[in-house]
């Protein structure tokens, strides 16, 4: 889904409704002039920092209020910085326009995904539009955050209209002409932000994004070329391949196919440094073996010499009435995945796909079966949910054990 979606992709399965969240562009809130310090409590009126067994209600019934740093300053960002771990989220419309988004983003997260879908970045063949990417870039830079860029190459839905990827013949492009377009777009985008972008999600969902005109015209070599062009533009950037692996866990068949692709690319000398795994999970269909499936994925990544980023994670809590307390289940899943990642040095980032339930992409999927989706760490009012404290406790335990 960008990166990740563990790149940002950027999602599984591909859906036009998700892209609608990126292509809007109205006035965004200005970047704060100073980074909020996670060490300084803003007010004693906030609930004290809880343990894993004491969490505020996840039901978004409280009225929205200004985001407050907890007493003691123990935020996700503070703990993640302390153990050398990336905790992040993408910068997407419409969430980026919410006035509560910037203070939560810059206080709780140390990594942001700057979205660079071609549809948004190059709306016309001879014109680039950097407005949304620049807003994310400036906010991240002004607050000392790591920047992940991408996805650079995705599916037909994230291609600009002028490419004609919505037609039967994929716009009728000759292979050499389309490869030149790909090279110009990738290298212009990567060069535009220089060394300030540490990681690029180069290709998203090569196996699961459905019909793909890049592949139809250029063959599987479109992946190789995209990585080589990105490397030429910035030889020092970490380059990532991102994929989705189902809502019920980490499918072994998809994992095997993905790792075969990783092996082919690396054997061909392609500069692939990291792989992204999307964990858009649904608690009501989640296999009980999901922890072992994720560990197996990390093991295979180690065999291929690649670092792993969880690029896109959310956990749909299930339809009403399916669980006695769906947020307990959600809390358990977030905590389990975070602990497994923190216990493996090759797992470097956890990127949550959005901050607040108010703006989750699941609510924009018509007919997707996601009734009242609340899959994220913060509720509709940007208040912390039990899942937030599961991630916080996993980071706290890693720091106490000195595991990173």
Which positions ≥6 away from 273 have C-beta within 8 Å?
238, 239, 240, 306, 307
pLDDT digits (tens, 9 = 90+) for 24-60: 333 333 333 333 333 333 332 222 222 222 233 333 3
Closest CA to 102 of 70, 67, 132: 67
**Spatial distance between the Cα atoms of 314 and 316, rounded to a whole number of angstroms:** 7
Please compute the mean of the pLDDT values over residues 186-201 and round it to a whole number.
Answer: 96
Closest CA to 114 of 85, 139, 143, 81: 139
Closest CA to 6 of 231, 307, 233, 387: 307
Which positions ≥6 away from 229 have C-beta within 8 Å?
182, 183, 186, 187, 190
* pTM for the model: 0.84
**Spatial distance between the Cα atoms of 96 and 115, rounded to a whole number of angstroms:** 12
pLDDT digits (tens, 9 = 90+) for 230-252: 999 999 999 999 999 999 999 99
pLDDT digits (tens, 9 = 90+) for 314-347: 999 999 999 999 999 999 999 999 999 999 999 9
The correct CATH number of 65-401 out of 3.10.129.10, 3.20.20.80, 3.30.420.40, 3.40.50.620 is 3.20.20.80
Write down the pLDDT at residue 111: 98
Confidence of residue 23 (pLDDT cuts 50, 70, 90): very low
**Spatial distance between the Cα atoms of 367 and 308, rounded to a whole number of angstroms:** 32
Write down the pLDDT at residue 91: 97
CB 15 within 8 A of CB 86: no
Residue 167 burial (CB count, 10 A): 11
Alpha helical stretches, state H, 95-169: 101-108, 118-121, 131-142
Please compute the mean of the pLDDT values over residues 211-232 and round it to a whole number.
Answer: 97
Write down the pLDDT at residue 154: 97
Write down the pLDDT at residue 314: 98
Confidence of residue 66 (pLDDT cuts 50, 70, 90): low
pLDDT digits (tens, 9 = 90+) for 262-318: 999 999 999 999 999 999 999 999 999 999 999 999 999 999 999 999 999 999 999
Closest CA to 331 of 387, 273, 404, 401: 387
């Amino acid at each position: 889904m960008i990166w990740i979606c563990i790149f940002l992709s950027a999602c599984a399965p591909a859906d036009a409704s998700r892209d609608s969240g990126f292509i809007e562009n109205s006035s965004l809130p200005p970047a704060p002039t100073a980074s909020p310090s996670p060490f300084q409590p803003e007010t004693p009126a906030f609930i004290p920092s809880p343990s894993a067994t004491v969490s505020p209600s996840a039901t978004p019934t409280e009225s929205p209020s200004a985001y407050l740093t907890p007493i003691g300053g123990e935020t996700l960002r503070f703990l993640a910085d302390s153990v050398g771990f990336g905790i992040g989220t993408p910068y997407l419309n419409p969430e980026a326009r919410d006035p509560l988004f910037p203070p939560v983003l810059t206080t709780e997260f140390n990594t942001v995904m700057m979205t660079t879908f071609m549809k948004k970045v190059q709306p016309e063949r001879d014109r680039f539009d950097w407005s949304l990417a620049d807003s994310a870039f400036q906010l991240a830079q002004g607050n000392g955050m790591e920047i992940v860029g991408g996805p650079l190459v995705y599916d037909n839905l994230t291609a600009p209209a002028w490419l004609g990827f919505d037609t039967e013949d994929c716009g009728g492009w000759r292979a050499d002409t389309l490869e030149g377009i790909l090279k110009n777009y990738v290298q212009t985008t990567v060069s535009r932000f220089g060394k300030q972008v540490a990681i690029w999600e180069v290709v998203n969902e090569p196996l699961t994004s459905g019909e793909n005109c890049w592949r139809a015209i250029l063959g599987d070599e479109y992946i190789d070329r995209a990585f080589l062009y990105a490397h030429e533009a910035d030889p020092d950037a970490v380059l990532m391949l991102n994929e989705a692996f189902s809502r019920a866990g980490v499918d072994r068949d998809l994992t095997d196919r993905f790792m075969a692709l990783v092996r082919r690319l690396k054997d061909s000398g392609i500069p692939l440094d990291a792989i992204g795994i999307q964990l858009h999970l649904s608690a009501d269909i989640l296999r009980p073996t999901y922890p072992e499936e994720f560990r197996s994925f990390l093991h295979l990544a180690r065999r291929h010499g690649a670092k792993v980023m969880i690029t896109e994670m959310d956990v749909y809590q299930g339809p009403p009435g399916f669980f006695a307390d769906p947020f307990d289940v959600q809390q358990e899943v977030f905590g389990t995945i975070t602990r497994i990642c923190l216990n493996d040095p090759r797992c470097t980032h956890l990127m949550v796909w959005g901050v607040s339930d108010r703006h989750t992409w699941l609510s924009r999927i018509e007919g997707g079966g996601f009734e009242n989706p609340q899959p994220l760490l913060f509720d509709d009012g940007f208040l912390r949910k039990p899942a937030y404290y599961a991630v916080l406790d996993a980071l706290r335990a890693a720091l106490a054990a000195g595991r990173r």
